[in-house]
Structure 1
Amino acid sequence: MLWRVDSAEAPEQWWHALGPARQGTLLPGGTSTTWSLVLLRAFGVEPDSEAARQAVGLVRENVRWEHGAEPFFSGEAEPCINGRTVALGAYFAVDVARIVERLLGERMADGGTTTCCAVSTTCVRPACPPTTGWPR
């Protein structure tokens, strides 16, 4: 285990210590909710530890995306952000089936995804070519 919490209150202290100016959902990088969870995952926090469950529970209960005010683990408008959220949900054992269904529904005819502009009706360029074995 690479990360250790000395008290059960640590996740709540972490959440409140960020302060309103640093509690963006995606931005600013490094202190936003998304990047805080990305860092916890990268540092190898045990996803089933009590501290991680408390921290992720705070996110699940309190965080809404700036676009549309969707709950954090329900996803937002852009596929690239949703992909990252799926990875976080999978790591921290949060149900992200709704986002996965949305991403699969937004696939382009060639199997690729839009370039983070699903909100735009004019975006037709794939972000990446389809990969071998990608379901069609």
Structure 2
Amino acid sequence: MRDDVITWLLDGDPSVRWQVMRDLQGAPDDAIDTERARVATAGWGARLLAAQADDGYWGGQVYGPSRERDSVMWTLQVLRNLGAPPDAAPVRAAVDRVVADVVWAEFDDLPYFSGEVEECVNGGVLANAAYFGVLGEGSDRIIARLLDEALPDGGWNCEPADESQRSSFDSTLCVIEGLLEYERATGSADAAVTDARRRGEEYLLERSLFRRRSTGELVKPRYTNFSFPTYWFYDVLRALDHFRAAGGPADARLRPALDLVLEQQGDDGRWRAGRSWPGGNRYEVDAPEGEPSPWNTLRALRVLRWADPASVG
């Protein structure tokens, strides 16, 4: 792994730095914890926390009906991806405001952490609830829905069941990310949750994370576009990072996806930022399109360090 790339990453935001220390350097826990704590008080994390209104909302929206990305849903996702420490006072205060006041107005004013009706949305809400320590009746509701809504092929689809019995890569990844966060928070106590997550993972593995099972062709070109924040959009790097986070040895069926990631590495050892996903009021927490991306570089290197260490030295 190139020293100049690591130095470049460490020169960035605290949210990148602490994850480099943990995932690429194996730094001592106390040093990692000290750096991670800064996410709540400096850089991107502090700016996102400061943008919350007194009523608990970001951007005045729970989700963003016109694809606004500064809503409660996506701000919490970005804070989670930054690794904002859930027990830090500014983070705890922000989450408490969400618990107290944020509701799904179009769904009978259900509390935010109770979710709504779409699988991809509920997977993200569950991930946020588990990460920020807000499990309870609301997350129980989400779990029950997700287990019931799994399709015969093992995945999920936000399209109504009477319109499609075929799973979606986007919906499936959103759900299995949420289930994994739930397992981490609860100590994997519910075998049904683990089984459902693994079936969803198998759905993706059977398709090499980006291919049609029937023909082997690329499902959608955008699956090879690596962009951060990810929002609800599927891409191969995001999926690989999920499998890394789930632990255990890398499945051999990940090889084509790993090769795809390696193909996008530049001669300077970095990965470029992809095209930003659609939506207004985005948080610009990564480099512009085509420029060296700290987030893509960090995520790619830690995936490769886990699954193909020889490729990164």
Question: TM-score scaled by structure 2?
Answer: 0.36
CA apart distance, 1:97: 2.5
Alignment of 1:29-108 (within 5 A): 29-68=68-107, 69-95=109-135, 96-108=139-151
Q: In structure 2, what is the equivalent of residue 132 of structure 1?
A: 202
**Counterpart secondary structure, 1:117:** coil
Change (3 A) 1:98 1:29: same
Within 2, Cα distance between the matches of 1:11 and 1:54?
13
**Counterpart secondary structure, 2:201:** coil
Q: In structure 2, what is the equivalent of residue 3 of structure 1?
A: 39
Q: Tell me the alpha carbon deviations over residues 89-130 of structure 1, each in whole angstroms, 9 at most, x when there is no partner.
A: 11101112221121011112232212x134x64332221484
Structure having the larger proportion of residues in helix: 2
Contact 1:64 1:71 in 2 (8 A): yes
Q: Tell me the alpha carbon deviations over residues 65-105 of structure 1, each in whole angstroms, 9 at most, x when there is no partner.
A: 24313211101111001111111111101112221121011
Contact 1:24 1:33 in 2 (8 A): yes
CA apart distance, 1:13: 6.0
Within 1, Cα distance between the matches of 2:87 and 2:58?
29
Query: Percent of aligned positions with the same letter in both sequences?
Result: 31
Q: CA RMSD in A?
A: 3.2
Alignment of 1:11-30 (within 5 A): 14-16=51-53, 22-27=59-64, 28-30=67-69
Q: In structure 1, what is the equivalent of residue 190 of structure 2?
A: none
Contact 1:65 1:76 in 2 (8 A): yes
Q: In structure 1, what is the equivalent of residue 211 of structure 2?
A: none
The one-letter amino acid paired with 1:99 is I
Larger radius of gyration: 2
Unaligned runs of 5+ in 1: none
